[in-house]
Amino acid sequence: MPASTALHFETIARAIAFVRAHPHLPPEAVAEALGLDRARWRRVLAEWAELTPERFVHCLGRAYARERLSLTPELLPETLASAPATAGQARAGQLTWEAMPPTEPRAAGHAIELGHGLAVTPFGDALLAWTRRGVCHLAFRCTDEAALFGELHHLWPTAALVRDDAHARSLALRIFPSRSPSTSATAAARPSGAVDATDADRGGVRLVLRGTAFQVRVWSALMRIPRGRLLSYRQLATLLGMPAAPRSVGSAIAANTLGYLVPCHRLIRADGDAGEFRWGSERKLAMLAWEAS
């Protein structure tokens, strides 16, 4: 992706914080708050996600979120409650995954080699990690690099860590490809209720979901939510056949360490509020705006 796409995230995050604090101000007020002229602000948004200032502000609003909530449930498979908990495919030809029990690395009797590295993304710097079976970790930097690496070591204490930033950058390019003018034109022509059924920006990578059977079931359900659509926490619990246990579902969501690829950012509150996110609410809203372009 162009370097500017990643570098713009800090500006985008500041803009989102301003819009959340001043939801009734017109879109042109954002540029002034950022200390940018309107032309420069338009270029930033165009380079980051082919968004206009007006579209950007609209996608951050609760009315937009509630509209998306109303459109999603009927699109999901009726068999969601019986989704497989060992292996699956979220989108034909695009994203495949397999499950790994939390105890498997220890049971194997030897260290798993875990490649890992830093890469820039449209949502800031990220740490990616992978085994020979697929990508197992994608975490965005919220504080410093030491915290990122510390979390990875905590989650994989017996793994043999092998640093490979070049491969991490290659994976990031597959997961977050550049937005070409033709792609943007197609998106602009799509009706407001349409869905990008291919979800091609997830790059066709293979994932390793390391968690309990219940956690994997919840994560696999998340991967069935099409790009551009949203679910509430209660809607997801209901679709999973657990309408009285949204907190249990929420705990599984909070344990997700495959940011963006397992799209917990597509879950929001029923009133349209974005809710909490492991890597910050501004980043969550940025992802939703980026996917709306």
- Give catalytic status of residue 264 as yes or no: yes
Q: What is the pTM of this model?
A: 0.85
From the list 59, 136, 142, 264, the catalytic residue is 264
Q: Alpha carbon of 41 to those of 99, 209, 237: distances in Å?
A: 43, 39, 39
What is the tens place of the pLDDT at every residue in 26-62?
999 999 999 999 999 999 999 999 999 999 999 999 9
Q: Please state whether beta strands 95-100 and 124-131 pair in parallel, antiparallel, or not at all (unpaired).
A: unpaired
Best CA proximity match to 194, nearest among 71, 74, 55, 93: 71
Bridge partners, residue 258, by sequence: 138
- Rounded distance between C-alpha atoms, residue 43 and residue 52, angstroms: 9
Query: Would you list the DSSP string of 10-72?
Result: HHHHHHHHHHHH-TTS-THHHHHHHT--HHHHHHHHHHHHS--HHHHHHHTSHHHHHHHHHHS
What is the tens place of the pLDDT at every residue in 61-118?
999 999 998 887 665 654 455 555 566 655 534 578 999 888 776 554 467 899 999 9
Give the tokens for residue 236.
């997801």
Predicted local distance difference test score (pLDDT) of residue 245:
81
- Rounded distance between C-alpha atoms, residue 123 and residue 265, angstroms: 12
What is the tens place of the pLDDT at every residue in 186-238?
443 333 333 343 454 456 789 999 999 999 999 999 998 888 889 998 889 98
The three-point CA angle 254-292-76 to 5° equals 60
Q: Given a cut of 60, is residue 239 above it in pLDDT? A: yes
Q: Would you tell me how many other CB atoms lie within 10 Å of the CB of residue 57?
A: 22
Q: Would you tell me how many other CB atoms lie within 10 Å of the CB of residue 113?
A: 12
Give the tokens for residue 239.
């679709």
Cα within 13 Å of Cα(136), Cβ side? 26
Predicted local distance difference test score (pLDDT) of residue 186:
40
- Rounded distance between C-alpha atoms, residue 35 and residue 28, angstroms: 12
Predicted local distance difference test score (pLDDT) of residue 190:
38
The three-point CA angle 227-199-248 to 5° equals 50
